[in-house]
């Protein structure tokens, strides 16, 4: 059974394997846990039997007007089951009083986010891949 939680107290690096499929230089399990712990908001999809995280979403915020969702990940074996949709809905509920909720995504998944009333805009990014270690 999958449970959705916003508490990281039971999450250990060993519970965070298999994410970032296709990334050239993915963060380690330890780095991922650090990312989640330092996020302003987080929701995890957890396998209740194993304690392993099968999906997560996080957000950073000024806690006044703006929030940014940098990551939504669901393990490949669990994709297509509505877990990502549930995670986005739970996060948007947490962020419902903010003026702006922003995210960046690859073109191939823009239609997924359009279902949640996100709109396409142009932007700029900078990546320092060597800093992921």
Contacts of residues 101-107 at CB distance under 8 Å and 24 or more positions apart, as own/partner, are: 101/59, 101/66, 101/67, 101/68, 101/69, 102/66, 102/67, 102/68, 102/69, 103/68, 103/69, 103/70, 104/70
CATH topology of domain 2-132: Aminopeptidase (3.40.630)
Q: Quick: pLDDT tens for 17-70.
A: 999 998 888 999 999 999 999 999 999 999 999 999 999 999 999 999 999 999
Return the bridge partners of 34, or none. Answer: none
Burial of 23 (0-12, 13-18, 19+ CB in 10 A): exposed
pLDDT level of residue 123 (50, 70, 90 thresholds): confident
More confident residue, 129 or 46: 46
- What is the separation, in whole angstroms, between the first and last Cα of the chain? 33
**Which sequence spans correspond to the domains of the chain?**
2-132
User: Which of 63, 82, 66, 62 has the alpha carbon at shortest distance from 74?
Assistant: 82
């Amino acid at each position: 059974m999958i449970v959705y939680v916003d508490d990281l107290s039971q999450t250990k690096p060993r519970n965070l394997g298999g994410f970032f499929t296709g990334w050239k230089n993915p963060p380690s399990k330890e780095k991922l846990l650090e990312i989640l712990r330092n996020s302003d908001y987080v929701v995890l999809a957890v396998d209740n039997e194993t304690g392993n995280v099968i999906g997560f979403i996080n957000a950073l915020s000024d806690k006044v007007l703006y929030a940014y969702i940098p990551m939504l990940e669901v393990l490949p074996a669990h994709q297509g089951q509505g877990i990502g949709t549930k995670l986005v809905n739970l996060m948007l509920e947490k962020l419902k009083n903010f003026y702006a909720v922003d995210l960046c995504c690859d073109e191939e998944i823009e239609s997924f986010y359009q279902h949640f009333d996100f709109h396409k805009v142009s932007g700029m990014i900078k990546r320092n891949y060597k800093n992921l270690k």
